[in-house]
Amino acid sequence: AAVAPRIPPTRLALHHLDVNYSLQLKDLWPSVRAGLLCEQKYGALLNSFSPVDRITQELELLNATDFVSEASKKAQRLQWAAATEEAERGESQSRERPGEGRTAMQAETMTQAEMPPPLLASITSNIKCYTFPRGDITRFRPARPDTLGLLNYYLMDAASLLPVLALNVQPDDLVLDLCAAPGGKTLALLQTGVCGHLAANDVSVSRTKRLHQILHSYIPKEIREIVSVMSCDGRDWGQLQGGTFHKVLVDVPCTTDRHSVMEEDNNIFHKRRTKERQMLPMLQLQLLMAGILATKPGGEVVYSTCSLSPLQNEYVIE
């Protein structure tokens, strides 16, 4: 052991992913592997509590676009296309069976109420996250403070915004971010502008300090009053405040695939952390159960990871 060459945890991680994900993803794995090994692509989450018009113009001049609104527009186009196709199918059937179906002309005059609801329409107008085009990994410049001292955008992996969009917070919802630090998703939840109260928890005291810093850098004092930051073991939330929240985000600790193959520091594949890594699915299950127990009847829970591992995703849900 003393003379054997030290294998870096990034190499151990990549070998582990090669063995497992090549079986899971088959022909897709080479392109996914290349994506994991590419430089991380960031999005700029605009701070709606800071004047955004000027920064929006700056980002659009750089050829960045708001992927949230683009996704919403695409969803609406797909909904309209599906509705039109269904109407035309009905028109075709009505030729065979007069008096049945809906004509294409009628489809064009469908009322707003008849159309399927736009994708998360209640919050997409508030959440804006700019990214550069596919294949462009240009770095955004550091955020700058406005006249009130609030930073104008927060740089984060754009995919990290997806669990927040999926949570679909509604006006006055009581929301729990069970594993909140370092704070990007907590900040995004506040950008919706509709949280009645937001409990942000993380078991690590040092990470909750980072969360406090982010809130002070981006959120006005009067808005911070609706946020409770705590440092508890998330597995205990079901007993602490059971049946309390309308929406719960359970963004659990995981193998964090990209970090594991790219960064030596704090790498879960370090040999000293083998037992911790093996116990992750059990920890994730316990956190998810606590999140479910913390939710009101009829409420909603989003479970998310930064890993492609079925053990940490589908199997935890099952």
Q: Could you tell me the residue ranges of all domains in the chain? A: 38-83+125-316
* Residue set of the binding site for S-adenosyl-L-methionine: 179-185, 202, 233, 251
CB atoms within 10 A of CB 115: 12
Confidence of residue 98 (pLDDT cuts 50, 70, 90): low
Helix 184-191 to helix 205-218 angle (10° resolution) is 40
How far, CA to CA in Å, does 251 sit from each of 122, 194, 201, 213, 226? 22, 20, 11, 20, 21
Predicted confidence at residue 144, as pLDDT, reads 92
Residue 162: is its pLDDT beyond 90? yes
**How confident is the model over 58-63, as a mean pLDDT?**
94
Helix 29-37 to helix 9-25 angle (10° resolution) is 150
Do residues 260 and 270 make contact, with C-beta atoms less than 8 angstroms apart? Answer: no
Residue 69: is its pLDDT beyond 60? yes
Do residues 247 and 169 make contact, with C-beta atoms less than 8 angstroms apart? Answer: yes
The fold for domain 38-83+125-316 equals Rossmann fold (3.40.50)
Give residue 177's identity as a one-letter amino acid code.
Answer: D
306 is known as an active-site residue: yes
Give residue 24's identity as a one-letter amino acid code.
Answer: Q
Confidence of residue 82 (pLDDT cuts 50, 70, 90): confident
- Strand 173-177 and strand 195-201: the pairing is parallel
Mean predicted lDDT score pLDDT of the chain: 88
Confidence of residue 72 (pLDDT cuts 50, 70, 90): confident
Residue entry with tokens 């520091």: 265
Residue 103: is its pLDDT beyond 90? no
Question: Among residues 129, 195, 254, 306, which one is catalytic?
Answer: 306
Closest CA to 136 of 62, 76, 208: 62
Predicted confidence at residue 210, as pLDDT, reads 93
Measure the CA–CA gap between 232 and 240, rounded to whole angstroms: 10
Measure the CA–CA gap between 76 and 73, rounded to whole angstroms: 5
Confidence of residue 46 (pLDDT cuts 50, 70, 90): very high
H helix or E strand, kind and range, residue 262: helix 257-262
* Residue set of the binding site: 179-185, 202, 233, 251
Predicted confidence at residue 119, as pLDDT, reads 44
